[in-house]
């Protein structure tokens, strides 16, 4: 240590100059902000529920099942996603499809989001591009484990996120949180 550093007071004063510099600079910016200069901000804080940062386009969020033109699921219940899922959170029950050109369709398609690890393997494994993770929805919660199981109907009703990454469909409310 140099002599100036060993002498404690000088270093303390330089530290105080730094922190008080930040204080007065930010205080001035807060005042400017309050006076109407909304482009000046005194803090780097993003106030989360009201303000959100844009999500990255590749972000893996809540799953959705892609629909055909008639509204039925594009899924053919091939069980690829259920097989590849490392968390084993997908449960599919297959059924005959009324259209003979299409082999099968899921009678049930449940995802237990309490177990899901959001690895995205189901999306990659799907040969029909029937499941995607692009809804932009991250804030889903439940008071029970059962409430974390999302069924086919819920997953079919979701829409992809908008160009800014914001969800376009509302966050599905699990059964145990409906009044």
Q: Which of 4, 5, 6, 30 binds other proteins (CB under 8 A)?
A: 30
If one asks whether residue 18 binds other proteins (CB under 8 A), the answer comes out as yes
Note whether 68 binds other proteins by CB under 8 A. Answer: no
Is 16 near other proteins (CB under 8 A)?
Answer: yes
Question: Concatenated DSSP letters for 110-161?
Answer: EEETTT-----HHHHH-TT--EE--S-------SSSGGGEE-HHHHHT----
Residue at token pair 């600079």:
25
Q: Is 52 in the site for other proteins (CB under 8 A)?
A: no
Q: Which of 74, 46, 87 is nearest to 132 (CA)?
A: 74
Residue 148 Cα distances to 33, 60, 109, 154, 155, angstroms: 42, 17, 14, 12, 12
Q: Is 15 in the site for other proteins (CB under 8 A)?
A: yes
Q: Work out which of 27, 31, 93, 107 binds other proteins, going by CB under 8 A.
A: 27
**Is residue 9 a contact point for other proteins (CB under 8 A)?**
yes
Contact region with other proteins (CB under 8 A), list: 23-31, 59-67, 139-147, 156-164: 23-31
Nearer to other proteins, 20 or 144 (CB): 20
Find the part of the chain contacting other proteins (CB under 8 A) among 43-51, 54-62, 124-132, 142-150: 43-51
Judged by CB under 8 A, the number of residues near other proteins is: 18
| In the complex, minimum distance from the CB of residue 44 to other proteins, in angstroms, rounded to a whole number | 5
Residue from 5, 10, 43, 86 binding other proteins (CB under 8 A) = 43
Per CB under 8 A, residues contacting other proteins are 8-9, 12, 15-16, 18-20, 22-23, 26-27, 30, 42-45, 47
């Amino acid at each position: 240590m140099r002599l100036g550093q060993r002498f404690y007071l000088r270093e303390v004063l330089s530290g105080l100059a730094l922190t008080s510099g930040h204080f007065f600079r930010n205080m001035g910016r807060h005042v400017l902000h309050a006076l109407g200069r909304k482009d000046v901000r005194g803090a780097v804080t993003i106030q989360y529920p009201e303000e959100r940062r844009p999500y990255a386009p590749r972000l893996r969020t809540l799953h959705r099942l892609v629909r055909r033109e008639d509204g039925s699921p594009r899924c053919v219940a091939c069980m690829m996603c259920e097989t590849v899922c490392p968390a084993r959170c997908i449960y599919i029950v297959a059924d005959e499809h009324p259209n003979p050109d299409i082999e099968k369709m899921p009678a049930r398609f449940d995802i237990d989001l309490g177990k899901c690890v959001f690895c995205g393997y189901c999306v990659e494994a799907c040969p029909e591009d029937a499941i995607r993770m692009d809804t932009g929805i991250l804030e889903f919660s439940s008071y029970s484990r059962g409430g974390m199981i999302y069924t086919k109907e819920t997953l079919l009703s979701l829409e992809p996120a908008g160009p800014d990454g914001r969800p376009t469909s509302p966050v599905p409310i699990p059964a145990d949180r409906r009044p």
